[in-house]
Chains A and B, each alone.
Chain A
Amino acid sequence: MRHSEPMRRFVRADGPEKVTGSGRYTADLTLTGQLIAKFRYAEVSHGRITKLDVSAAREVAGVLAVLTQDDVPDLRYGDAVADRTLFARDVVRFEGEVIAAVAATSAQAAQAGIDAIIVEIDELPAITDVEEALTEQSPLVHEGWADYESGWGCERNRNVASFSSISKGDAAAAMNTADHVVSSRFVADGSHALPIEPRSVVAQWEGNKVTIWTSTQVPFKARDGVCETLGLPSNRVRVIVPHLGGGFGGKCGFHFEAHIAALSRAARRPVKLVFSREEEFLAPDRRREGIVFEVTSGVMDNGDIVARTGKVVVDNGAYTADAGFFPQMASMHLAGPYKVANVHIDAHLVYTNHQPSGSVRAPTAPQACWALESHTDELAAAIGMDPVDFRLRNCVDTGDEGVVGQTYDEIGLIECIEAATGAAGYGRTELAADEAIGVAVGWWPSFPGASGAYVKLEADGSGEIITGAQECGTGSVMTLRQLAADELGMDPEDFQIVYQDTAAGPYDAGATGSQTLLNNGRAVQNASRQIAGQLRQMAADRFEASPDDIVLGDGVAMVVGTPDRSVPIAELARSSMNTELLLGHGSSAPVDTPVLRNSTCVGDMGLSAWIGPQFSCHAVRVKVDRDTGVARVVSVHAAHDSGTIINPIAARGQIEGGVVMGIGQALSEGTQYDERGAQRNAALLEYKLQTAADIPPIHTKFVEVFTNDAGPNGAKGVAEAPNVATAAAIANAISKVVGAPVRQLPMTAERVWEHSVGNGEVAS
């Protein structure tokens, strides 16, 4: 597939406003008469509210509205499990839970209102150990769990909000036949999505309609959440997302839009909320989950993996948000992209009194990949095989059957391994004793879903794409211009994009699951094809030719092979004013999921069979100071099968950004809790993101394998996959240097040092 050249040097359509400071983000908006909102938080991880009195707050000068759960419809919401209320009712279950909200004429007045609220809470023991919470003796996070509804049909029991298992063959029997059996245990801490823009919401009512500007990745989902919790029809709630300052999953889901809409309605004024960085750490229900993994594999002397069993315990936190599918996703990743005939993995999503977990960039996958790939190096060591040879022998390739009985179409995992290890000089490079190259493989599904777009050509020949899709920085919405241009024989620069407005564009799932290009891309292609058909017909009429003989290219419609019989598209667009307007609408047709054989999945959330699976291999060179435990990444070679790459600059940006996020997760990013379940490092200085000074050279190679069941022109998703294998590859490098895997994530200097000492590598 040839792509229009301008996009090969892609300058994003939203670029000029982003580099000049004229682009508006939600916090940049100010409406006449706007009030400022503040929340009162639980501040304890678990407790019973014995007194909540807001009467004094209502008397504070400048305060125009104070709300608690008594002031909104009393219902529980949540897609996976309806376990949440807008404001805490009776019990608080994590420190960042909202108890009350105030809107006032200034931030100071709002804070005075918050301070005047009387809250008394009888603190209860915080349930913080996810494995203890799984036991029958554990106290319950939700006493009333059995009365909750689960829209996704989650398998639930006590503190388990969702259980899932995958099973194929007879793992126990096969394990008995193995020459070597290796068991490993790994514990990954939770972490944060941490977009640099703290979230902001502005709401304004006019009559019985409300407009909400919000920094969400999922405008339609945010709208639906407002409609559900405040009892409004969809067409009376309009959600607009100004420029979005990053999300990484942290801004998926429905968060605080309803609180601000309700405040605005009560105060009869526009209301604005802007989070502080600390609130951004503590209050959203989308942080990356902590997980405990146990995995056992049986291998033969020849290197074949014959059986794998595992147990996964995922920290759900206090409410389920969208984490209902995490057990199945984590199981798939603990099983891995391998040919294993006998598999049994049980996975539990368990309530605790931590901040709720939710989809952050490739949820569960980096942690599970880190555990599995560390374990894989242990398997290779057990039989004395090189870990890369071991992977080449066991990884799935085109036509192979994977862990749940899906037979893969054209895939490029083996090529990824060869590309990454080859470029990194794996096995060929002399390394100092304190350096090693670690290798890991990863995978990630593509998510098909409903998505729509309109395309129109104006009388002057300029085009507009009106899409429901959401841009979170990845550039995938920006890339839609290229798809329309390719269909219409125009230049991407000829198109403007209207997006991030639920009243303008058709439905789309949002900037989630790397799905934008996959699904909305098809919708834009379909809409553009309708206009292409109109243009061909108009040109055919003019030249008395068949529409099939009209080609669109370089801004003209031409009878094939006869340049003198051509007309500028702009001229056809002008004449469309006298005939039929050039309007197209498109929708992505759902794709059938692949058939599975020989396997069963309990608690199936539809994630066992993967459409357009993406594969990757990362080879990372790491230097470890064994005296201090400090590990430093020297270089990264990342090879990805993300199908056809439509926009190389944007795709490279996703790999590099994902790799750097992965380095952070590997070495420094992890939430630390105190014994009462409160976060101890809810500030950027303590949480430690990677800075410019930390960045190694990152080399990206795309293995472009064409897959039929993928998105436009064979494209798969690209934004989440690079996050998957990075921590794992770093772990395997560290393990080579210090002599054993570090079994906790992040692999901080302290933890690496302890392992180093534990292995007698360094005199203590």
Chain B
Amino acid sequence: MSEIYELRVNGVDYPVTADANRNLSGVLRDELGLTGTKEGCDDCECGACMVLLDGQPINSCSYLAAQAQGREISTVEGLMDRDEMHPLQTNILECGGVQCGFCTPGMLMSAHALLERTPEPSLEEIKVGLSGNLCRCTGYGTIFEAVAAASKVEKVEP
């Protein structure tokens, strides 16, 4: 049965018409056209679909879209501030933390949530913060460096 409801994504309210059992990643991608959120498994195992719900990272493949009503959903498309890239985005590029890029949106969202709650993470905290996101390309080290570098950038900014 289709349901009609609203989702708030990156500060924009979207009307949604979708079956009640649709997952959030599917609705974001297929109904709202926000394909930056990726799907690597549909089973909570890879983190490619990571988005933030009221600032908390969740695997959107395993979350019912209808349950996200009334909450603030953040996806990779909302990371930029107008035309300015987020420090995580510039640093992950400069550190070489992007290869195929398929894990990147999910990585960025996990890292974003980590820096919000732990502005100066230790290497261990970065590793734990990203442990729900699989990357097959980079070996992770350059991504750790990018998160550490971005945390410093965020710190010096007022």
Q: Which A residues contact B (CB, under 8 angstroms)?
A: 9-12, 14-16, 18-25, 27-28, 30, 194-198, 243-248, 276-277, 472-475, 649-650, 652-653, 656-661, 683-685, 689, 691-693, 695, 697-698
Contact = CB atoms under 8 A, between A and B. Distances in A.
Contacts of A685: 43, 45
A695 B139 contact: yes
A683 B35 contact: no
B45 A659 contact: no
Contact of A27 (B39, B43, B79): B39
Given A22-B36, A195-B100, A656-B139, 19 more contacts: A20-B36, A20-B76, A21-B36, A22-B77, A28-B35, A30-B30, A196-B137, A197-B38, A244-B100, A245-B100, A277-B43, A653-B142, A656-B141, A660-B140, A684-B134, A692-B128, A692-B143, A695-B141, A698-B139
Contacts of B108: 19
Nearest to A655: B139
10 contacts: A20-B79, A20-B89, A197-B40, A245-B38, A277-B46, A472-B100, A652-B142, A653-B138, A656-B141, A692-B143
Contacts of A16: 85, 93
B70 interface: no
Contacts of A695: 127, 139-141, 144
Nearest to A697: B141
Contacts of A24: 35
Interface string B23-43: 000000110001111111111
Contacts of A683: 43, 45
Contacts of B139: 653, 656-661, 695, 698
A698 B29 CA distance: 36
Interface in B77-106: 77, 79-80, 85, 89, 92-94, 96, 98-105
A245 B144 CA distance: 20
B42 A245 contact: no
Which of A19, A245, A649 has the most chain B CB atoms inside 10 A of its CB? A19
B58 interface: no
B104 A18 contact: yes
A652 B35 contact: no
Closest 9 CB pairs of A and B: A21-B36, A473-B100, A245-B102, A18-B101, A656-B139, A473-B99, A660-B139, A684-B45, A21-B76
Contacts, number: 166
Contacts of A9: 94
Q: What is the interface of chain B mostly: helix, strand, loop, or mixed?
A: loop
Nearest to A27: B39
B135 interface: yes
A18 B96 CA distance: 12
Interface residues of B, number: 53
Contacts of B48: 196
Contacts of A14: 101
Given A19-B85, A20-B85, A657-B136, A693 B128 contact: yes
B133 interface: yes
B131 interface: yes
Which of A9, A245, A684 has the most chain B CB atoms inside 10 A of its CB? A245
A652 B98 CA distance: 12
A23 B101 contact: yes
B152 to A, nearest CB: 17
B140 A15 contact: no
B130 interface: yes
A196 B131 contact: no
A408 B81 CA distance: 55
B44 to A, nearest CB: 9
Contacts of A248: 136
A497 B30 CA distance: 29
Nearest to B130: A692
Which of B77, B102, B105, B139 has the most chain A CB atoms inside 10 A of its CB? B139
A650 B92 contact: no
Given A14-B101, A20-B76, A21-B37, A246 B136 contact: yes
Contacts of B80: 20
Contact of A693 (B101, B103, B127): B127
